[in-house]
Each structure stands twice: as structure tokens, then as C-alpha cells.
Amino acid sequence: MKKIIFTFVILVSKIAFSEAALPVIDIRDRNAQNLKIADSVDAQAFSVEHEAFIRTLEENLVFREKTIEFLTKNPTAKRSGETYQNWVLQILQGTAKYLDTRVKFLTVASKYSVYKDLWGNNSSPPLTKKKMIMALAASLQLYDNYFSLFNLASKNKHLRTLLNQGDPTNNIPAGLVNSISSQANSWTLLSLLTSQVRGFDSFIKQLPASEMDAQTNYLVGVIQSSPSYQLFRNGLIKNLLSFAALRLISEKNRLLDALFSNSRDTEDLISKAFGNVVAVIETRQGKLNPTKPPGLLQKIETKLKPLDILLEKTPFRLTDRLIPGHWGHLALWIGSLEQLKEEGLWDLIADEDNQPAWKAMPLAKRQKIIQALTTGNVILEALRPGVQLNSLKQFMNVDDFLAIRPDYLQNDREIKAELIAQALTHFSKDYDFNFDAKTQDKIICSELVYWVFTDIPWLTENTFGRASISPDNVIHTVLNRNEFSAIMLYHDGKEVSDSGSAFRNELCSLQKYSTLEGVDEKCQNQFDPSNVSEELLRK
């Protein structure tokens, strides 16, 4: 028993007194050049900085309160009552706000940290004292946010996994939780801040009343009302076990997340190898191959609108036979740059002030998208080489083709533009060989729909412990809701008339191959076998 206790103490000590493997963002700055810059700031300029700091602080306090309430009430999508996708988007947008505020506080803390050794010098100019106090206030706000927000998120395994995956759209780097936890739990940083808080306590007692103006009084109040301030006042010895426990939890989470990531990567490689092998097996050309039916492409193109969902069937490909249900692949019609402009969508999509998804994309990626949309590559689809923009001609080497329209978006250009911009963020992502719908760092075809139409509760299935979504799930959801309608259907190389009951019957009859239980609502009591093609009945 003693040996076990001794081993635990040694482990805690190593974690507590060792620096994190990841780089630490230190609020100290030994660069003398910064001192010159800081000293050059006059009282008027500092007043502007002080006002900006107050705005950031007040916004942060409101944000922190709302986020704590949200994470407490909605630790999972199921508890929130939202679709999983909308819950994730709220988390990612909130995290982006957290990081933006973090940068602002880090900037202030770093800029004026050159005065860190002046706490014992009450003869410093009043402006210098204000800078010292503001730097400490910013540092404590960083820890207040970490202890109350990020630490809360890091205890939620699902949230931690989500944030560690990163999200380029919201400028969230991979490994975020583990990185920030390692930085915040740096023994050097904890020791430094403890020393500064104690220096502040002695300093403020000797501060002349004449120097306690409104700015200084506000900053002092910010510091003294900080929960972290109370914690650091206790000193390192009293907080040793608490800080060591935080380091221990942080290291444990980092190791577990690394194990999960390695496992996921291994499975991804296995699935990728298998998928790429079977993908090349093709026994013939599709019956709708554009080289055969004259005028096919033009006829289809004139009917399609941005965000139409396109489904296909290619029974001559081996991969198609491995996918449940009738439909084997789907994509999104984005439309050409010309079409987007004609419908008044492009200016809304490319509006950087109001379209964060478009603004967050690297310039090179945006240029590639524009080039693709200008040259006829107007279909967004996830293939094994990754998410691409391809032409209708490339897409139509199929036997069956179905176009689904999101009717509920047709009269709302702003929402439609927002969803198109969101869809384009997935361009150039890798293919998700793990088929995990709950992650969006990699994407398969069906997941495009899942992550674009986030207000729709898409049907998913549990496959090997993961939520997956297939084209069969997509068509099942569509046929059981009123937001969508089928606008075009080709079966076995032939167009199905969109008039009368023939169209509906042909579409519903294809659902006989679905592996899902239950009858699709739009097909129930509407199926008439006499209107189904003889070829389909022979199947």
C-alpha cells in the first residue's frame, strides 16, 4: 500500500513540476523592445486601450455566463433538443468567440508584462501602474475563462473530442483542448501568476489615494472580483494538490485522446485501402452516360437550382453493391457562378462582412472554388480522393438519377446563400473512411447533406459504435418530411414522367430495396403497382 501511495506521489510530482510538451504561451516577455513600445503609449492612447479592454471584459462576462448555462443545460445534443448538427455549430461558434476573446486578453497581458518586476516599486509613474494592473487583470480573465469554461468542456469527453478535431471554418486548430489545458497548467505560468497576485496585494495597499482614479479603481475591482485572484492569493503550497490534479487530468485526457485518434486513424487507413481497391471495379458504362442520350445534360441542367440534392445508382460498380438501399451516392448542385449571380445569391455568398463561413476560408481555396464554378464544375460531391467540384457530365455516368429540391429554402435567399457558403467550406476535405457522421473534419457524400441542412433531423444508424448516414437514410428522411420534393427521376436509363402517379409510384417502388424498417410516409397508401415499370417488377 505504501509503495502504491509513494508511486502516486512521484507521478503527481512529475506532472506538477514538469513543463507541458506543447509550447506555452507565456504572459512574460523578456524582449526589451516591448518595453520601449509600452513606454511610448501616452495617457490618451491608453484611455482608448482602456475603453476597448472594458468592452472586451463586459462582453466576456456576458459570454461566460451564457456559455456556462448552455453547457450545463445542454451537455449533449439530445439534452438540448436541437439537431446534432445545430448543437455542434453552436459549440464551434462559441469556441471561436472564446478564442477571439482569448487573443485580446493575451495581447494586453503580453504587451504590458514587461512591468512584471515593478510591483515592489511604488515610485513608478501612474500610467505605468495602470498598465501593470491591466496586464494582471487580463491574465486573471484568461484563467477565469479556463477554469469556468474550458475546464468544464474538457471534462465532457464528447465535447473534448469535438474541439480537439478542430474546425477550419471557425479557425479552430486541431488539439485545442489539450493544447490550452497544457498551457494553462504550466507550472511556470502558475508560479508567475501567484507571485504577481501577491505583489499586487502589497502594491495596492501602498497606492496613494490620489492615483486611484476611475480607470485604476475599475481595474482593481476587476482583479479583486476574479475567482482566479482568490485562488492564486492562497499561494502555490496550498494549491499544490489542486494544480497537480489539474495537470494529472490534463495529461490523462491528452493520452486518451491520442489513443482514440490513433485508433481512428488506423481504422481510416484500413477502410481507405479497401474502398480504393473496390472503387476501381466497373463492369460497364452507365445507361445515362452523357455520350449516349443526346441533349441529356442541357435538359437536366435547365431544371436544377442551387442546393438541389442529386442521387445516383450505378449497379455496374462494386462499391454500389456494398451500400445499403437503392441509391449509392449523392451530391449537391451548387450551380455555376453565372447561375448564382442570376438568382441574386453570389453577392450574399461572397459577402465577407455577413458570411463568416466564406470569410474563414483561405483565399487560395476561395479562388479554386470560383475557378471551378466558372468552368462548369458545379456539383459538390465527396469521392474517395476527397470533396470536389465536378461537372454534370462527370456525374451522369449512371443508370438512375434523382433530383430532390429543398422547397423550404426557395423563398429565402439569405438562408440559401448561407447554406451554400457552408457547403463550400467542405470543398477539398478528405474522404471520411470511418463513416462517422458526427465528425466533419472528413466527409462522405451523405454527410454533406447532414452538415449543410443542419435544421433537418436526418436519420442516422449506429454502425460499430458510430453514427453513420447513407443515401438510404437521406431518401428515407426526405420521403417522411414536407420540406423536400422530388423534381426529376431517371430509372434504368429512362426518364420517368413527372405527371400523374407514375412518377411517385416509380420512386416509391425503389424503396423496396431499403434496409430500413417502416413505410415511407409519402409512399404510404399511394403505391399502385400497375404504374411501375416492368423491368423494376422483374427485379
β-pairing, 308-313 vs 329-333, is antiparallel
For residue 257, the SS3 value is helix
> Are residues 333 and 406 in contact, defined by beta-carbon separation less than 8 angstroms?
no
The residue among 137, 136, 163, 3 whose CA lies nearest residue 71 is 163
pLDDT of 524 reads 59
- Spatial separation of the C-alpha atoms in residues 220 and 243, rounded to whole Å: 25
Output the pLDDT for position 154: 63
Which CATH number does 296-538 carry? Answer: 3.90.1720.10
pLDDT score of 377: 95
Taking alpha carbons only, the member of 315, 276, 290 closest to residue 391 is: 290
Domain layout of the chain by residue ranges? 29-265, 296-538
Contact 428, 386 (CB under 8 A): yes
The tens place of each residue's pLDDT in the chain, 539 residues long, gives 444 333 333 333 333 333 333 333 343 333 334 444 444 547 788 888 888 888 888 888 888 878 877 877 777 766 666 788 888 888 888 888 888 899 999 998 888 877 666 676 667 788 888 888 888 999 888 888 887 776 666 667 777 778 888 887 788 888 887 788 778 777 788 788 888 888 888 888 888 888 888 878 888 888 888 888 877 887 655 555 555 545 544 554 554 444 444 444 444 443 444 444 344 455 678 888 876 667 889 899 999 999 999 999 988 876 666 677 888 899 999 999 999 999 999 999 999 888 888 988 889 999 999 999 999 999 999 988 889 999 999 999 899 999 999 999 989 999 999 999 999 999 999 888 777 888 888 888 899 999 999 889 998 888 767 788 888 889 888 888 889 988 899 988 888 876 657 777 778 777 777 766 655 556 654 444 344 343 333 33
Q: What share of the chain is helix, strand, coil (3-state, %, to 5)?
A: 60, 10, 30
CA-to-CA dists, residue 313 to 198, 244, 295, 394, angstroms: 70, 58, 20, 14
Determine if the pTM surpasses 0.85: no
**Which of 495, 477, 460 lies closest to 288 in space, CA to CA?**
495
The pLDDT of residue 19 = 35
**pLDDT score at 79:** 63
